Structure 1
Amino acid sequence: MIMGLSMDKVVVCFGLISLAHSAYSAAQHRAYLRLTEQSFTSLPLDVLVQCFVSFVLTCYGIVRVVGKFKEINSATELEKRSWETMSNRPAFYCFNHRGKSLYRNCEEEDAQLQQRSFLKNS
């Protein structure tokens, strides 16, 4: 198990180095085309293949290094909730709505009435 884990890390490192080398090769090819004043049509096939293979190798190694995926088990969380709170979704609460602008005058009148009553009592 330990040997497999370290081998997977070697695969990730090799994939990343190969990916960096393919990027460097692509940049070098573009620089060569600029020097020779040729138009850029596409990258050479070997650079494209190296890029693709190193990307797949890196992804495979990362998945192997991370380990086993865990199941998504929502049953334990749902057992704690009651039926009344099942449809309660606080993420969908909206406190900024058009009712604020529709009833703004009522709020201002209430505030003025409270100020007047406070001043009368003072």
Structure 2
Amino acid sequence: MGSKFFNKLLLIGGFASLAHAAFSAAHHRTYLRLTEQEWSSLPLDIILQTVISLMIVVYNIIQIVGDFKEIRATVDMQAKTWDTLGNFPSFYTFNHRGRALSPSYKPHDYDD
């Protein structure tokens, strides 16, 4: 119970730090415009804060969400035969123009 609470606190702190890094980057850009300096890149401390905050957020999200389950397509495919692999019932069409081209076709009279 305490571990999940600690992870949630770290997650909130990571998001706050990420928001602070974004604010710092915008503030640095505004400072460069006001002093009429050319923008080349962000300072190293903002880049490091962004990367570390992102790693903290990702790690704590994984810890809070819980265990991942394995996705295996082979489990579903083991029970199927080769004949049923190409079978797509949603593509079946029963009402098509070929019926009207048949010499034995008699249209239904729907007025009855």
TM-score normalised to the size of structure 2? 0.72
Structure 1, gaps ≥5 residues long = 96-106
Displacement of 1:19: 0.3
Letter in 2 for 1:37: E
1:50 is paired with a residue whose SS is: helix
After TM superposition, which residue ranges in structure 1, 4 or more long, deviate above 4 angstroms?
A: 73-76
- Is 1:88 paired with 2:86? yes
Letter in 2 for 1:58: V
2:64 aligned residue? 65
Displacement of 1:67: 0.4
TM-score normalised to the size of structure 1? 0.66
1:42 aligned residue? 41
2: CA distance, partners of 1:30 / 1:87: 57
Structure 2, gaps ≥5 residues long = none
Give % identity.
35
How many residues matched?
102
1:14 aligned residue? 13
2: CA distance, partners of 1:89 / 1:22: 53
Change (3 A) 1:41 1:89: farther
